[in-house]
């Protein structure tokens, strides 16, 4: 089982394909399997590295406070342990997109491109969600609450479809070992990050993508408007994790963006 320990925290990851690297950072409350369609397609011409963020999946579940930049260092540590020496394209959704944008803002020349999906680069308040995960777990309702949270990442029509039910239930089953306190620390790290003042100086080519019905769409449009080399695209009929609901539409847009930037 591939585990990176380069940043002092055990981070699970999976590597596939060959070619220029793409580092994939998932949304909450999912895990690395959120990228199953993109791994299948992009690994035909790229090296894909999909990891479980700390607190999720098979990665460590630390209970002490940490920052979003710590989570970014986890991702860079995965690259080191996976033997990736070429700078990767950063692809992230929601929390993953904020980590990707943080890495790009901290080192604008270090990464060839960013693909940010459903992301909010500004301040956020997750105090209620943190409390809900703790209280629902204490009442023995963790899996039911997790399932409900997962459904917020997609349109309800897709969630109720056979493929939607199947895939979401897989995340619920794999989430049986999640720790609500560690989850709370992840949300604390996320809400402690505000990149709005940093984005205008980040010249990394960036594609910002939102689903048509994504609650973070306005935030995504704001992110793209603040970045000098960013473009914004909307995937029709999809929600927050538009690349899961309509992988073909998302993949085509992402591939075209990479080609247009010589990648």
What would the mean pLDDT of 72-82 be, rounded to a whole number?
96
- Report the length, in residues, of the chain: 263
Pairing state between β 230-235 and 206-211 = parallel
pLDDT tens by residue, 84-139: 999 999 999 999 999 999 999 999 889 999 999 987 899 999 999 999 999 999 99
pTM of the model: 0.97
Residue 84's pLDDT is what?
Answer: 95
Residue 208's pLDDT band, with cuts at 50, 70 and 90, is very high
Check pLDDT > 80 for residue 1: no
| Between residues 69 and 109, the one the model is more confident about | 69
The per-residue pLDDT for 119 is 78
Cite the beta strand spans of 41-191 per DSSP E. Answer: 47-51, 89-93, 114-117
CB-based contact 109:229 (threshold 8 Å): no
CB atoms within 10 A of CB 177: 8
Cα-atom radius of gyration of the chain, to the nearest Å?
Answer: 17
Query: Around Cβ 262, how many Cβ atoms within 10 Å?
Result: 8
What would the pLDDT profile of 223-257 be if each residue is shown by its tens digit? 999 999 999 999 999 999 999 999 999 999 999 99
List the domains of the chain with CATH numbers. Answer: 3-260 (3.40.50.1820)
């Amino acid at each position: 089982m591939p585990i990176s320990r380069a940043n002092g925290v055990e981070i699970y990851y999976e590597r596939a394909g060959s070619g220029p690297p793409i580092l994939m950072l998932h949304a909450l409350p999912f895990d690395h399997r959120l990228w199953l369609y993109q791994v299948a397609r992009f690994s035909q011409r790229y090296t894909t590295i999909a990891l479980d963020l700390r607190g999720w999946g098979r990665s460590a579940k630390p209970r002490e406070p940490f920052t979003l930049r710590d989570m970014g260092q986890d991702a860079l540590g995965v690259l080191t342990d996976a033997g990736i020496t070429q700078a990767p394209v950063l692809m992230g959704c929601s929390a993953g997109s904020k980590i990707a944008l943080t890495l790009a803002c901290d080192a604008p020349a270090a990464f060839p491109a960013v693909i940010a999906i459903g992301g909010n680069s500004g301040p956020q308040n997750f105090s209620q969600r943190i409390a809900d995960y703790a209280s629902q777990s204490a009442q023995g309702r963790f899996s039911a609450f997790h399932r409900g949270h997962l459904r917020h990442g997609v349109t309800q029509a897709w969630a109720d479809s056979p493929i939607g039910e199947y895939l979401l239930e897989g995340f619920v089953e794999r989430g049986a070992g999640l720790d609500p306190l560690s989850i709370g620390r992840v949300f604390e790290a996320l809400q402690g990050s505000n990149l709005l003042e940093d984005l205008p100086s980040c010249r990394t080519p960036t594609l910002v993508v939102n689903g048509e019905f994504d609650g973070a769409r306005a935030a995504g449009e704001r992110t793209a408007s603040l970045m000098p080399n960013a473009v914004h695209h909307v995937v029709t009929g999809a929600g927050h994790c538009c690349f899961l609901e309509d992988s073909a539409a998302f993949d085509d847009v992402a591939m075209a963006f990479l080609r247009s930037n010589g990648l």
